[in-house]
Amino acid sequence: MSTLLDVQDQADSLDRAAAAFLELRPRLFGIAYRMLGSPAEAEDIVQETWLRWQNSERSAVANPAAFLALITTRLSINAAQSARVRRETTVGRWPAEPVDTGDGPAAGAERGEAVESALLLLLEKLTPAQRAAYILREAFVYPYEQIAEIIQLTPANVRQLVSRARKHLSVPRREPIDIGEHRRLLTTFLDAAQRGNVTALEDFFAADVAGPPEPAVLKGAA
């Protein structure tokens, strides 16, 4: 009896996963298409995202839109870089990574690395303002006006930032990153995506875009 109930629970869970994915599918396709410029390649990315979503620990994901958008971004970046390497016949930049769609601890670890790798690439390729605008818009579906309030810019500027971020993600430019910053972004993002703590994410981006405070000037200093 318990086995039948387990099977039914799994079927219900998969139905809910499919419903959530289908609702977000047009947005995921748009992310992949803007980064790759090919409907066929974008469709492949969306299908791969679905496989990962099927085999993920969905009960631990409070924000499916953020989770799926980030995985789609990471897969699209890999695809774009892999295609560029093949075209230019260069070696050692961004090799395509093997995809493990199986279940179990190994797959869970790989999915965790997927999120970590995607955020790492955003840190390497985007400015703080571009990164904030891109993640809040693409992963958390914030309106431009709300993003503008968070990072103290106009909605028009935010639109430009998101557009530039999409372009920069498909080029090989990489900047050195701070490991501590990467860890803070990863922790804050996962907290927002899995537990819904978007306030902390907003505060993180607001401070990141504003930059470090100016050092205090001592009285009497030259």
Domains of the chain, residue spans: 11-89+105-209
Write the DSSP string, 24-35: HHHHHHHHHHHH
pLDDT per residue over 41-68, tens digit each? 889 999 999 998 888 888 878 788 888 8
**Residue whose token pair is 């492949």:** 44
What length is written for the chain?
222
Tokens of 23: 């609702």
Q: What is the pLDDT of residue 110?
A: 47
Q: What is the pLDDT of residue 114?
A: 64
Neighbours of 168 (CB within 10 A): 17
Contact criterion met (CB below 8 Å) for 61 and 67: yes
Pick from 64, 161, 65: which is nearest to 122 by CA? 161
User: What are the residue ranges in the chain where pLDDT is below 50?
Assistant: 5, 85-110, 216-222
Pick from 123, 35, 19, 30: which is nearest to 79 by CA? 35
Pick from 23, 21, 101, 58: which is nearest to 194 by CA? 58
Q: How far apart are CA 114 and CA 99, in angstroms?
A: 10
Tokens of 42: 């974008």
Pick from 141, 118, 148, 142: which is nearest to 209 by CA? 148
Neighbours of 69 (CB within 10 A): 26
Render the burial of 190-217: b for 16+ CB within 10 Å, e for the rest. bbbbeeeebeebbebbeebbeeeeeeee
